[in-house]
Structure 1
Amino acid sequence: MTRTLFKKSNNLTRKNLLKTTLWLFIFITLLVVVVIYLLYFLKIYNKMHTIVKPSKVVIGFAMGTLKEERWFKDRDILIAKAHEKGYEVEWVNANENDVEQINQVKFLLSKNINILIIVPNNYEKCSSAVNLAKKRGIKVISYDRLVRNSDIDVYVSFNNYKVGELMAKWLIKKVPRGNYAFLLGDPGDYNVQMIKEGYHKVLDPFIKKKQINIALEKYCYNWRKEYAYNYITNLLDQNKRIDAILASNDSLAEGAIMALSEKRLAGIVPVTGQDADISACQRIIKGTQLMTVYKPIDKLVDLTFEIVDRLINNKSLNPPLMLNNGYKNVPTFFLTLSV
């Protein structure tokens, strides 16, 4: 009787144990299923609500012109260095058309660019293009030419005041007295105003003492050498004496030297320039051009990408100076120059 009761009790214990084990297994299984479901749901939720950053930074490069030799260098070097850093570049050229530049910036914005680097064709009219980018939250770098009256984030360039100073110093050493002709670039390029201010800083004391006479001081629209050629030709046809020519770039220098050549004055009247175009260097060797201001484009591009990296990563710029563009004080980076 005792053995029978013990067996029954033992059987009941085993059944209870099996039931408990079964329920425990079911509970654990359900718990695992719930955890897996929650993890999967949270993963999907996070994907839906997380802003996915682009795998590559896309830079928009809006150029005002490709007329001069130097702008081809800027474009090619900038694209090559961007690719080295893993950036993509969408570039456009406005061909000296202000309306087209605005439309091209709209096109770049449609490409979901992260940064806009702009070379304004006109320093005032380009402010509309900058405004379009800023409304989209895109940061803007004004490259080598300043955009006036606009909310640009950075201005990076060579020191164009120094460009004017260097040209004037070379001329004054060569021709301390006489009639000077000044061939300025396009009035819509703010660099021209800086160059003008730079050479006047050096030459005004001589002008006030009447050691130097201004025979000509005119703008060459769109930096076209035809204007330089015509200005110098007209002076010479009027039998006006020209002792020195300050041409604001190598293209204008070429136009002036063409006019001098027709009067057999090439190499006699010193002419300045800037950009170190190959043709200008050849003229210097030949003796028909006095000097050219060399601009290391690769260094300018390197500096630009240092700024791009900081803007992308929201790091402070620590600019060496601030320049007022009529709208605000703009963080400004100038590179040094040489002849």
Structure 2
Amino acid sequence: MRKGILALATSGLLAVTGLAACAEDKGADTGAPKTPKIGVILPDSKSSARWETADRKYLEAAFKAAGVQADIQNAQGDKTQFQTIADQMITNGATVLMIVNLDSGTGKAVLDKAKAQNIPTIDYDRLTLGGSASYYVSFDNKAVGKLQGDGLVKCLTDSGAKNPAIAQLNGSPTDNNATLFKAGAVGVLQPKYDAKEYSLVADQPVPDWDNAQAGVIFEQMFTQASGKINGVLAANDGLGNAAITVLKKNKVNGKVPVTGQDATVQGLQNILAGDQCMTVYKAVKQEADAAAALAISLAKGETKSTDQTTKDTESGRDVPSVLLVPQAIFFNNVKDVVTDGYVTKAELCTADFAAKCTEAGIS
């Protein structure tokens, strides 16, 4: 239910609402307060639908409600374009810069340029390793991976699989979140590998979270394992769907549990159809609202303190953070994502899925 989902984010939201203003930022040249203007760079629209369908929408609404000027652009996976957008935003007077990096190297270069201009910065969703972000707003990404690992174990147990062979289809090696997702999941699965309860037959990252490439990689995994794959740890719904496409081609979809993340319409429909065992729902509105609240305060010249930090494993720096709580979604609680307003019944319950939606209690 909505109440339950909102409760999950309470600790993270408290970190935002509890932020205390400490100082006022004056214009560097004139001493006058700068006009609040927030620049946001999203990474792409290919790796996950969420960036354009959810994050942009929620951020725009929050900035509009606060009456603060904002410029939200999408780099569409182009690292050169990412830096060009950042340069333009800085030149055009951004007083806060919020980024979702494409990789830590590119992200660091952008953050360092902003820092040189005394512009506060926020790493949104992905931490830039070795970077200089003033703050980091995301979900507890290791917890996301743990939910995926626990979910896969649950689905394999429910299926009655004996000594299952597992394929791990991980996110992009340049995304620190992908590293955390894997760490969380492997923390659950490794003891089972060590005890020979499960076997790991394939383990590979997918460059740039590219779903088409994921399909090629998983087909190779499936062939090399002679089709003997009993469970797929897929880092998000796009990668999960790529695996499901291969499983369908080999007529074993629904028999092999597949995980996911992002609670996309496609991922939820795959769960309703029985082709995907679970996804991880991250209430993006909570993340966007938390980041927007922080950015708006910074744009108005306030500095903030948070009650959470995240260790940058490259620099050793503890980055002030707001970390929200993710939720596992299975067939029996797909309705929670609809109740929360993240997807609509009309989007999800198309003709092919109407009966399954009724069965799942979606009304």
TM-score normalized by the length of structure 1: 0.82
Q: Of 107, 111, 114, which residue of structure 2 is paired with 1:126?
A: 107
The equivalent of 1:116 in structure 2 is: 97
Q: Which sections of structure 1, spanning at least 5 residues, go unmatched?
A: 1-48
Report whether the alignment pairs 1:299 with 2:311: no
1:56-67 to structure 2, matched below 5 A, reads: 56-67=35-46
Asked if residue 99 in structure 1 is aligned to residue 96 in structure 2, the reply is: no
Displaced runs of 4 or more, over 4 A: none
2:177 paired residue number: 191
Report the AA paired with residue 292 of structure 1.
Answer: T
Moved more, 310-319 or 122-131: 310-319
Q: Deviations over 1:198-253 (max 9, x none)?
A: 01111111111111111111111111122222222223334140000011000001
Describe the SS at the equivalent of 1:175. helix
Deviation per CA, 1:61-120: give whole Å up to 9, x if none: 012212221111101210121011011111222221222211211011011011000000
1:338 to 2:327 alignment: yes
Q: What is residue 28 of structure 1 aligned with on the other side? A: none
The Cα of 1:325 is off from its aligned counterpart by: 4.6
Q: Give 1:285's aligned amino acid.
A: L
Distance 1:183 1:203 in 2: 14
Aligned positions of 1:240-255 closer than 5 A? 240-255=227-242
What is the correspondence of 1:63-102 to structure 2 with a 5 Å cutoff? 63-67=42-46, 68-72=48-52, 73-102=54-83
SS across alignment from 2:137: strand
Kindly tell me: are residues 265 and 152 of structure 1, through their superposed partners in 2, closer, same or farther at Cα, counting changes over 3 Å? same
Q: CA shift at 1:162, angstroms? A: 0.8
Q: Which has the higher Rg, Structure 1 or Structure 2? A: 1
- Give the counterpart letter for 2:116 in structure 1: K
| Corresponding residue number in structure 1 for 2:154 | 173
Gaps of 5+ in 2: 1-28, 158-162, 329-363
Identify the range of structure 1 (328-337 vs 252-261) with the bigger mean alpha-carbon deviation: 328-337
Who is 2:4 aligned against? Answer: none
Quote the residue 2:191 is aligned against: 205
Q: CA deviation at 1:331?
A: 0.7
1:275 and 2:256 matched: no
Q: Are the equivalent residues in 1 in contact too, given 2:104–2:131 (CA < 8 A)?
A: no
SS at match of 2:218: helix
Q: Over residues 303-339 of structure 1, what are the superposed CA-to-partner deviations in whole Å (9 max), with x where a residue is unaligned? A: 1123224434424313323422523221121100112
CA distance in structure 2 between the partners assigned to 1:124 and 1:213 by the alignment: 35
- Secondary structure of 1:166's counterpart equals helix
In 1, Cα distance between the equivalents of 2:228 and 2:262?
27
The CA distance in 2 between the partners of 1:302 and 1:325, in whole Å, is: 27
Correspondence for 2:131 among 139, 142, 150: 150
The structure showing larger relative contact order (alpha-carbon pairs under 8 Å, at least 6 residues apart) is 2
Q: 1:325 to 1:132 in 2, by over 3 A?
A: farther
Give the aligned residue type for 1:63.
Answer: L
